[in-house]
Chain A
Amino acid sequence: MSEIIFGSNIMQLLISLILVSTFMILGSTRLYSCVRAFGIQSLLLACVAGIVAYSTGKSDIYIVSALTLVIKALVIPYIFIYIIREIKVKREIGLYVGISPSLIIGGILVVISYYLIRSINLITELSSFALSASMSLVSIGLFIMISRKKAIMQMLGILIMENGLFLGAISLTYGMPLLVELGIFFDVLIGALIMGILIFRINRTFESIDTDMLKTLIG
C-alpha cells in the first residue's frame, strides 16, 4: 500500500519540492529568505502528511498535519523573525563554506543518502524516494549547522533535521501514535523557544550571534 501512496505523482512532486526548498536554504545568503524557505518546507511537509492521512483514512494523521502547519510553518518562522527583529542582527548569514560549494556538497549528500537507502533491503515495503529525501534532509541540516556562522542558522539546521526525521517517520509508519507525535511537537516548540532564548543570551553576552565569538573568553 505504501508504494501506492508514495509512488503517486503528486507525492513525488511534493517530496522533490521539499528537496528544492532545502536547496533554497542552502543557496541563499539572507536570514529572511532562509526562514521563508523553511516555512515553505514545513508547509509542504504538512501537505505530505495530509495526503497520507487522506489515503490511509486515519483521522489522527490529520491532526498531525494540522499541527505541522500551525507549529512548523507558522509559529516557528514567526519566532525566527521575532528574534531577527529584536536583536537587530545583520541580515547576512556568515559562511564558512561559499554558496556554490555548499550547493555542490548538498547535491553530493543527496546522492550519498540515496545509495545508503538503496543498500537497505526493505525497499519493497517503503518508498526509496521519500526515505532518501528524508535522509538527505537530515544530512543537509547537519551540514547547514556546521557551515554557517550565525547561531540562528544552527537553530534552523536542527529544525531541518527534525523535518527530515518527520518525513522519514511518516513514510515508514504512516505517522507514529498521536501521543508520541504530540510529544515530538511539544519538544520542537519548546526547543525552538529555548534556542531562541539562548540566542538572546549569546547576543547579550557577546554582542553578536556569530558562533566564532564563542571561542573567545569573556572575563
Chain B
Amino acid sequence: MNPVAIVIFQIIVIIALSPLLSGIMKKVKAFFQIRKGPSIFQPYYDIAKLLRKDSVVSENASWIFHAAPVISFVAVLTAGLLIPIYISDMPLGFAGDLIAVVYLLALARFFTALASLDTGSSFGGMGGSREMFVASMVEPAMMLSIFAIALNVGSTNLSYISQTVSSMGLTAISPYHLLAFVALFIIAIAETGRIPVDNPATHLELTMIHEAMILEYSGKQLALVEFGAMMKQLLVFALLANIFFPWGIASSGVTAAGIAVALAVFVIKIGILGAALAMVETSTAKWRMFRLPDLLSVSLMLSFLALVSFIIVKGG
C-alpha cells in the first residue's frame, strides 16, 4: 500500500477507535457493577454534543489557555503516528523512536498542566501539581519498562521492536518480557488516569487529578481535551498490545484484506486489555495520593528486575 495512504488511514483509525475504547471500558465497568451503563457509542455523542457548543472562557485566561488543548491534541496524535497500530512497518517510523513517543505524551501533559494553572482557579493548580507528581514517577518507569524490551530486541524503534517480536513468535515470551509487561500495565493505569491512581468518573475535589485540571474548559475546547485523553488511552493500550503481543499485526507489502484482518485483531486485543483494566478498576479502591509512590515504585522495580534478569540471562 501507498505510505501516504497508510499514514492517513492510521490517523482515521486512531480517531475512530478511541471513543469506542472508552465506551467499551465504561460498559464493562457497568457490567461488573451490575448496572446497565451507557451505550458503547456514548463518547461519540458526547464529543459531538460538545463540538456544537460555545466555550466560556475566563477573562483572566491568556493565550496558553486557548493553545493548550490544540497542542496536547496534536502532540498525542503525532505520538500515534510513531506507534504501530495495525501495521508494524510504519512509514513515519524513521521520524522518532520510543523516547519521542514518551516525550510527546509528556509534552501534551505539560501543556494541560500549564493551562490548568493559567486561569488561577484553586482546583486547577491542585490538579496540575498532582498530575506532575504522578508524572514524575510514571515517566522513568515507562522508559525503563520499554527499554527492557528494546534491549532484548536491539533497537528503540517501535516498528522494529514490533516486527522482531512478532517474527519471534511464542519464543519471545521470557521473564523480562512478562516483567516489563506487568510494569507497563501498572503504568498504563496511571497514565490513563484509572482507579487506584485517579478516578475518571468523579468530580470530587479530594480525589480528582485529570478532571481538576480541565475544570475550566467548556464547549469545543473541552471536546478537544476529552478527545486527547481518549486518544492517549488508546495509544497507551496500543503500545502495550503491539510491543508485547504484536502477533497478528500486518507487515509491509500487505493487501487491503490483510489490513482488515490486522485491524480486527487489534480491536480484539485492545478490547481484552480494556476489559482487564476495567476489572482492575472495579476490584480495587482509589488509593490515597501519598500511597501512589508505592504503586509506581513497584512498577519501577518490576522493570528494573526485567532489565537485571535480562543482563543475568543474556550476559551471565
Interface size, chain B (Cβ < 8 Å): 23
With CB as the reference atom, state the residue of chain A lying closest to B176: A16
**Does B40 lie at the interface of the complex (its beta carbon under 8 Å from any beta carbon of A)?**
no
Which residues of the other chain, A, contact B309 by a CB distance below 8 angstroms?
Answer: 12, 16, 19, 129
**Segment from B57-65, B96-104, B298-306 that makes contact with A:** B298-306
Which residues of the other chain, B, contact A110 by a CB distance below 8 angstroms?
Answer: 305, 308
Ordered by A's residue number, 11 sampled pairs between the chains whose C-beta atoms are within 8 Å are A15-B175, A20-B302, A27-B301, A99-B294, A103-B294, A103-B298, A107-B305, A107-B308, A114-B312, A128-B312, A129-B309
Contact B316 A103 (CB under 8 A): no
With CB as the reference atom, state the residue of chain A lying closest to B304: A107
Contact B175 A100 (CB under 8 A): no
Chain B, interface SS category: helix
Which residues of the other chain, A, contact B175 by a CB distance below 8 angstroms?
Answer: 12-13, 15-17
Contact B174 A23 (CB under 8 A): no
Contact B308 A114 (CB under 8 A): yes
Q: Which of A16, A27, A118, A128 contacts B298 (CB 8 A)?
A: A27
Contact B313 A129 (CB under 8 A): yes
**Does B293 lie at the interface of the complex (its beta carbon under 8 Å from any beta carbon of A)?**
yes
Kindly supply a per-residue 1/0 record for chain B positions 165-185, scoring 1 wherever the CB is within 8 Å of any chain A CB and 0 otherwise.
000000101111011001000
User: Smallest Cβ distance from B129 to chain A, in angstroms?
Assistant: 19
Interface size, chain A (Cβ < 8 Å): 24
**Does A121 lie at the interface of the complex (its beta carbon under 8 Å from any beta carbon of B)?**
no
**Does A104 lie at the interface of the complex (its beta carbon under 8 Å from any beta carbon of B)?**
yes
User: Smallest Cβ distance from A123 to chain B, in angstroms?
Assistant: 7
Q: List A residues at the B interface (Cβ < 8 Å).
A: 9, 12-13, 15-17, 19-20, 23, 27, 99-100, 103-104, 106-107, 110-111, 114, 118, 123, 128-129, 132
**Does B297 lie at the interface of the complex (its beta carbon under 8 Å from any beta carbon of A)?**
yes
- A118 and B308 CA atoms in complex are apart in Å by 13
Q: B257-316: which have CB < 8 Å to A?
A: 293-294, 297-298, 300-302, 304-305, 308-309, 311-313, 316
Which residues of the other chain, A, contact B293 by a CB distance below 8 angstroms?
Answer: 100
User: Smallest Cβ distance from A194 to chain B, in angstroms?
Assistant: 33
Which residues of the other chain, A, contact B297 by a CB distance below 8 angstroms?
Answer: 27, 99-100, 103-104
Known contacts A110-B308, A123-B316, then 7 further A-B pairs from the complex at CB < 8 Å, ordered by chain A residue = A16-B179, A27-B297, A27-B298, A106-B301, A111-B308, A114-B316, A132-B316
